[in-house]
Structure 1
Amino acid sequence: MKYMLLVCGDDTADASGMTPVEPWVEGLGDRRVRLHGHRLATPAEAVTVRVRDGEVLRSDGPFAETKEYVAGFDVLECDTLEEAVEAAARHPVAAVGAMEVRPFWEDEDADAAIRALDAELTSALRERDVDRVVACYTPDAVEFRDGREHRGLGALRKAMEEGLGHVTGPVTREVLDFRVHIDESIAFGQARVRLRATRADGTPIDDLLHITTGYRNVGLRWLIAHEHVSAHTEERS
């Protein structure tokens, strides 16, 4: 489970003797407990925004006037809350400030959503439905295939229409192996895919492909933002 670790500094505390944070970052990073994080600028550089009766109200400074402030954040992935608390307790700022550990709101199975997107791509190709295929990609998606670059939905659509125009009947896309690594808003997938179809002249197509895919969470769904397709070098079984 993922946890947000809010690193809260105290502008009245003496931090001169605080140990460096780099060993903590490197140690948890090596164990894949700390996924990423960053320091934040000081509260003096913050801007607080409110909207009242349709009017945008902007004020310089933090939301709350307090000696404690959020100085940075880290995203942790731990099996239990206790493990996340232990990691927070080892952070150097815990000795002079405070660490807030808060679980991520779990309202989506990202792995299932990405695999459903891949299944939709398979179904759309089988039906040779270009609109459904293109709908699986972000507007600024980039695809590399056969030494050619297709950038943006217009180029993707043209390449797809050209490719499907040379085949007849359904296109079979068999996913032999599919692995996904997911972060909060991006994900990377690697797959071996066998693509079968029949050319207009009756000759068969039977390609074994290696596909590396970059996904982006666009808010309500995951879409493909980057795709690299190449011939797989392993022998076919």
Structure 2
Amino acid sequence: MKYLCMVYYDENIINNMTSNEWKALNSECEACGQNLRESGKMIGGNALHPSTTATSLRIRDGKPLITDGPFAETKEQLAGFYLLDARDLNEAIQLASKIPPARIGTIEIRPIRELDSTKDERIQQHFG
């Protein structure tokens, strides 16, 4: 099963790191990703630019509403993601526990729902 592991952290913590601390964290993240890819568990992933570069889009009454900044004002911002292939949630948790920013932030783990109505349990329960 596929799981999306979203990496959240307080950007103020990152902004207050020394250059060496930042480089060390990035090196750890690169090594973590490499190890997960080599084990066949990582499908993809990327780091994101800071939330100050975000643009949010909403469609209301058929018209786009565009605002600068992230979708939500929170203490921790979405910093990146890892797309993992795991047997189950327990393995996904075990794999995500190796993601270095978990030490300073949060890793939200969510199963991927395939956009296939024949496999969507909610649709089957409602119409089936």
Q: TM-score, normalised by structure 2?
A: 0.76
Paired amino acid for 1:31:
S
1:107 offset after TM fit, Å?
5.1
Secondary structure of residue in 2 paired with 1:100: strand
In the other structure, the counterpart of 2:92 is 84
Structure 1: distance between partners of 2:60 and 2:95 = 40
Higher relative contact order (CA 8 A, sep 6+): 2
Identity of paired residues, percent? 36
Q: Which has the larger strand fraction?
A: 1
Give, as a single letter, the amino acid of the residue that structure 1 aligns with 2:72: A
Q: Which consecutive aligned stretches of 4+ in structure 1 deviate over 4 angstroms post-superposition? A: none
Paired with 1:12 and 1:86, the residues of 2 have a C-alpha distance of 27
Q: Does 2:20 align with 1:12?
A: no
TM-score of the superposed pair, with normalisation by structure 1? 0.43
Query: Which structure 1 residue ranges, 5 or more long, are not aligned?
Result: 109-237
Secondary structure at 1:67 match in 2: coil
CA distance in structure 1 between the aligned counterparts of 2:29 and 2:61, rounded to whole angstroms: 44
Unmatched tracts of structure 2, length 5 or more: 117-128
Greater gyration radius: 1
Q: Is this contact kept in 2: 1:13–1:97, CA < 8 A?
A: no
Amino acid in the other structure paired with 1:52: R
Match of 1:148 in 2: none
Corresponding position of 2:107: 99
The CA distance in 2 between the partners of 1:48 and 1:22, in whole Å, is: 28
For 1:152, the equivalent position in structure 2 comes to none
Q: CA-atom RMSD, angstroms?
A: 2.0
